[in-house]
Amino acid sequence: MLRAGIFLDMENLRLNGGYGLRFDIVRKLVEAQQTIVVRANAYITIDNDRYRDDEDYRNRRSRYVSIMKREGFRPFQKVIRRYKDYETGETLIKANADLDMAVETMLQSDALDYILLGTGDGDFLRLVRALQTRGKRVDLLSFCNTHRELREEVDNHFNGFIVPGLIPSEGNERHRGILNFVGRDKRNFSFGKITTMFGLRAEEMRDDVFLHIRMIRDCYGYDLTDDAFNKLKEREAILEFDLQDTDKGLQAINAVELLKSDLCP
């Protein structure tokens, strides 16, 4: 079994669609790659002024930390700092845990074979390359606004929106995926192939689910034009759909595009 470490940039994940992610599913995702988790760190921000003066904030923060610890994650809290911009008179807020996360990941990597980074921030690109140079397998978990080179550099990229169970869905059993290919059939109708996950192992990620333009509606319930269908791939739109097993393979039906504004604040 590979010895694994998990390092989550929670502020980046939260701001890019990962609000409410389940820590137990993150752990199961890593264990599904035939690993044993020996280290799990979550880097979060804390506003000490609000923590002192706002009871509701204090209670929510305490519950949040308790959930992390219950699932075996060690929380690292970065204190929010406020600075005065004397040119504009505005108060600036800064709380960046990137350096802490990068340094601790590198230091702890000596005892690890597999590392999952939870972030979409391109500042971690050099860390990924350094870890891979040292023989480590590095996978990435992210949601919206993922740096392109970072996604291409890692061994596997898990789009958080399509990882089964990662984001609470109120009992919704429909599948989620993204288009990886668009084309035209013999009758000149647009079609595409969807990437989705049928389990948590990297090998259970499929990229061959067929989608015909007649089987999808936009987020408002209308038919799509060919141009709008093609742009689904360009925009990496998140699709939700049912599955039908046909003699030609799996086909997505009753598909709909999910509003990015609902997914990515």
Residue 87 has pLDDT above 80, yes or no: no
CA nearest neighbour of 216 among 201, 226, 208: 226
Mean pLDDT of 251-260: 90
SS3 112: coil
Only one residue has tokens 């598909």, namely 255
Residue 165 has pLDDT above 50, yes or no: yes
pLDDT in tens, 127-147: 999 999 999 999 999 999 999
How are beta strands 2-9 and 35-46 bridged, if at all? Answer: parallel
CA nearest neighbour of 159 among 98, 238, 216: 238
pLDDT in tens, 110-126: 999 999 999 999 999 99
Residue 123 structure tokens: 């500042």
Mean pLDDT of 97-101: 84
CA nearest neighbour of 227 among 176, 177, 178, 184: 184
Residue 265 has pLDDT above 70, yes or no: no
CA nearest neighbour of 219 among 210, 227, 228, 211: 228
Q: Which domains does the chain have, with CATH numbers?
A: 2-162 (3.40.50.1010), 175-263 (2.40.50.140)
CA nearest neighbour of 256 among 220, 213, 217, 200: 217
pLDDT in tens, 231-250: 999 989 999 999 999 998 99
**pLDDT more than 90, % of the chain:** 73
pLDDT in tens, 25-57: 999 999 999 999 999 999 998 878 888 888 888
pLDDT for the residue 50: 82
Band the pLDDT of 78: cuts 50, 70, 90: confident
Residue 92 has pLDDT above 50, yes or no: no
Mean pLDDT of 177-200: 95
CA nearest neighbour of 162 among 53, 236, 230, 57: 236
Looking at residue 144, what DSSP letter applies? S
CA nearest neighbour of 139 among 130, 123, 150, 147: 150
Residue 178 phi, psi dihedral angles, 5° rounding: -135, 150
pLDDT for the residue 17: 92
SS3 214: helix
Looking at residue 259, what DSSP letter applies? P
Average pLDDT of the chain to the nearest whole number: 90
pLDDT for the residue 192: 96
